Structure 1
Amino acid sequence: MPRASANPGRSSTTTMRFDRLAYVLICLCIVLYTLYAGSSFFIPIAFGLFFSLMLKPICYRFEVLINSRIFSVVLTLFTAGVVVLGVLLFFFNQIQAILTEADDIYSGLQETFYEWAEYGGGRFGISGEEVEAYIDEAITSVSDQPLGILSTGLSTSGVLLANFSLVMIYTFFFLLYRGAMKNFVLGQLRNSDQTEGLETLNEIQQVAKSYLGGMGLVMLILGVLNSLGLFFIGIDYYLVWGFLAAILAVVPYIGTVIGGLLPFVFAIATTESIWQPLAVVLLYATVQFVEGNFITPKVLGSSVKLNALAAIMSVILGSIFWGLPGVIIAIPFLAIVRIILTHIEPLRPVALLLSDDLYEQSDRFLDEYNEPKYRLSNIFSGKSSLSLFRKRRSPHHPTKRVSKSNSQVVSDSEPD
């Protein structure tokens, strides 16, 4: 009899776990489908929110000087717009100059490929007519490939570009109402969790701020290295090709390949020696190696703190859901998710699974996190709570609650 009574209990526990798991999976599928189907609606909101997080420090500086939030937000967006417009005008003028030489570039590309292919065809006994037919087909595919990649990327990001004004409107209102929105988020937490929630929001703000400055510094370093290398190789418009590749580096892995392919094709079309195109390939491969192993880890590693596997998977998922805009925003979004997970005690092992020091701290899974409260199965059985946990503090310094009287001041204060 006791044995028979034990089985129903175990069965009910198992059923409850599968019920909770099914509920979570159904909700997750609904959220993911909504984000996918409503991409035209959510992409401008996501970029507006992220831009507001990045521009908040600049807006805060203006607020200190002007003492008016509305004018500070307007000045912030105006300053950012001037910088972006200046960069776009520079590239537009330079690319327009390159397009005026399009016929010469195409004929130079065709001539170079004829020489290479005829030399190779003679080695393998291929006739001149066959070589010419093959060259015409190869020239068309090679010349169209970079433009095809760019046009695909532009069409994929068309939602973002077409709604750029909407993104700016969202950014304006997110900056204007940031205090009220932060207070709303804190108000949804229990009083005991509000201080921890405030720390979480401040860390998210710091990540966005560091990502903006870090990416700007990485682009500047890459642009200088690429431009100097192309200058010494003897490639025309070296500033355009160098900084274009640096800007495209915001798209992880893919952007660098496209940024190096364009000057490579240009070098084939405009130079007479074979060493210059090969030098371009060697240059971009070297810069990519230095950037991936030294520059980005040193500049962005302290803010993003994501391992390579998590970054690659986030980029792929971002491209599946939102195309090129998803690829751009995937890594900072995952960095924000990792911060939130570190403040939810049962999910701290998942945060460690995403972190950049996963290899060095792999023993923590069977040491610090080898307890029932850290097992994901306990979440679905109802034994673990997903509320924010408070860090251990000295008994002489009790945790401060975010009360009604000081919530606005705390929310609007600039984090250190």
Structure 2
Amino acid sequence: MKSTQQSTHIATGLFSFIAIVFILYVLKPFIIPLFVAIILSVMIFPVQKYMEKKWRCNRLLATTVSLFLLMFSVVVLAFLIFNQMSVFVDKSDTYVEKISQLYYKSMLYFETNFGFKENNLISRNDLKIENIIKDNFDQITNLISQSGSLLGNLVVIPIYIFFFLYYRVFFRTFVYKLFRSQSKSKINVILRKIYHVQQNYLSGLTKVILIVGLMNSVGLLLLGIENAFFFGFFAAFLLLIPYIGIIIGSILPALFALATKDSIWYSVGVIGIFWFIQFLEGNFITPKITGSKVSINAFIAITSLLLFSMLWGTAGMILALPITATLKILFDHIPGFEAYGFLIGEPVDKHLKDRGMLRLKLWKKIRMEKAALNS
């Protein structure tokens, strides 16, 4: 009877998990803008709170001004990026010509020294923009359709942000009524922890982006790469995609160095500098700044990135860590789910020590105590 109940419980849990994943996948166009709006609301809430308390602004004015500042910052950032990218597009023919020349020189070298043939490799005509567009028409059409969806999100996300900020007390009261069996003080603790973990993640990520952006830019300046600050901060901004973002960001300056410099070693130098900075960022900068405020172990972080990327694509990779950190807090406070919260969190020292060494130390300690008693 007991085994039957356990089997039923496992089957119910598995079915619920599959149903939740299915719903998250189907409702992707609705859920992603909603989650992005929540995170951005947490980011600008201190501005609204400051205006309400220090400047004595009413909530409507404070919400409107905070949202305007956020949108203005996004528009300025987008303008700078697209303005710089347009310069590269205007000179794309020159860059393609230079890269194709390096390509043919490399092929000639390999053909002369190793007997490789060029028959099935890329030709100069394949690198032309019109041929790239022709061969990738379906992908470009898909990109245009996604751009329409993006424009729709740019409209709906600010609306979500406005109501999250303006109706925040109303939504808190809704949570109280939804979990009526729980005390308000316990719900407030959970909500406060979720807010602080998101705020710490965002503020820490901002600091890391600034530091890494400066380091990238200095490294590119030392190599003599043009537009060093654009490339440096563009790669740093891609830290929004943990672990692999800065690797993606290094490709563009490496190709630019390949197209504008006389030696391939400049491109190799760019990749080497970005790899070194990524090593510093992952092992020293981010742990030092973020610390244990977003306590997710590396295994769960990587796993969540893979799972959310499969579920929601690039947007899932950006949202993976904030959502996982929130789940940890919820699991820690929901009876029966504490084990999952423990699995997400950082292991303590005793979980990382070798048990064989612990037994050896304990055995030595017992021998020393026995020797002391005998003496």
TM normalised by structure 2 equals 0.84
Aligned to 1:136: 123
CA RMSD of aligned residues (A): 2.8
Aligned to 2:173: 183
Aligned to 1:390: none
SS of the equivalent of 1:303 reads: coil
Aligned to 1:42: 31
SS of the equivalent of 1:339 reads: helix
Aligned: 1:304 with 2:291 = no
Q: Give the superposition deviation at 1:360.
A: 2.3
Aligned to 2:340: 350
Q: Give the superposition deviation at 1:257.
A: 1.8
Aligned to 1:388: none
SS of the equivalent of 2:123 reads: helix
Any stretches of 5+ residues in structure 2 without a counterpart?
356-375
How do 1:345-384 residues align onto structure 2 when only pairs under 5 Å count? 345-356=335-346, 358=347, 360-362=349-351
Q: Give the superposition deviation at 1:135.
A: 5.1
Q: Which runs of 4+ in 1 moved over 6 A?
A: 150-158
- C-alpha change, 1:219 and 1:161, in structure 2 (3 Å) is farther
Aligned to 1:320: 310
Q: Give distance in 1, aligned partners of 2:76 and 2:304.
A: 31
Alignment match of 2:52 (pick from 59, 63, 76):
63
Q: Give distance in 1, aligned partners of 2:148 and 2:226.
A: 30
- Which one has more relative contact order, counting CA pairs under 8 Å at least 6 apart? 1
Aligned: 1:225 with 2:212 = no
| Aligned residue-pair number | 345
Q: Which is worse superposed, 130-139 or 258-267?
A: 130-139
Q: Give the superposition deviation at 1:39.
A: 0.9
Aligned: 1:86 with 2:76 = yes
Q: Which is worse superposed, 210-219 or 327-336?
A: 210-219
Aligned to 2:10: 21
Q: Give distance in 1, aligned partners of 2:296 and 2:24.
A: 23
Aligned to 1:96: 86
Q: Give the superposition deviation at 1:227.
A: 0.9
TM normalised by structure 1 equals 0.76
**1:283-331 deviation line (CA, Å, top 9, x unaligned):** 1110111111111112223321111111111111111111111111111
Aligned to 1:289: 279
- C-alpha change, 1:310 and 1:172, in structure 2 (3 Å) is same
Q: Which is worse superposed, 60-69 or 185-194?
A: 185-194
Amino acid corresponding to residue 89 of structure 1 in structure 2: F
Question: Does the aligned pair in 1 maintain the 2:41–2:165 contact within 8 Å?
Answer: yes
- C-alpha change, 1:155 and 1:348, in structure 2 (3 Å) is farther
How do 1:151-166 residues align onto structure 2 when only pairs under 5 Å count? 159-166=149-156
Question: Does the aligned pair in 2 maintain the 1:54–1:209 contact within 8 Å?
Answer: yes
Alignment match of 2:21 (pick from 24, 32, 36):
32
Q: Give the superposition deviation at 1:359.
A: 5.4
- C-alpha change, 1:157 and 1:344, in structure 2 (3 Å) is farther
Aligned: 1:51 with 2:68 = no
Question: Does the aligned pair in 1 maintain the 2:96–2:127 contact within 8 Å?
Answer: no
Alignment match of 2:161 (pick from 171, 183, 190):
171
Question: Does the aligned pair in 2 maintain the 1:43–1:160 contact within 8 Å?
Answer: no
**1:199-221 deviation line (CA, Å, top 9, x unaligned):** 11001111111122111111111
Q: Give distance in 2, aligned partners of 1:219 and 1:162.
A: 28
Q: Give distance in 2, aligned partners of 1:259 and 1:46.
A: 25
Amino acid corresponding to residue 41 of structure 2 in structure 1: S
Amino acid corresponding to residue 292 of structure 1 in structure 2: G
SS of the equivalent of 1:76 reads: helix
**1:355-401 deviation line (CA, Å, top 9, x unaligned):** 13x1525289x9xxxxxxxxxxxxxxxxxxxxxxxxxxxxxxxxxxx
Aligned to 2:370: none
- C-alpha change, 1:158 and 1:19, in structure 2 (3 Å) is farther
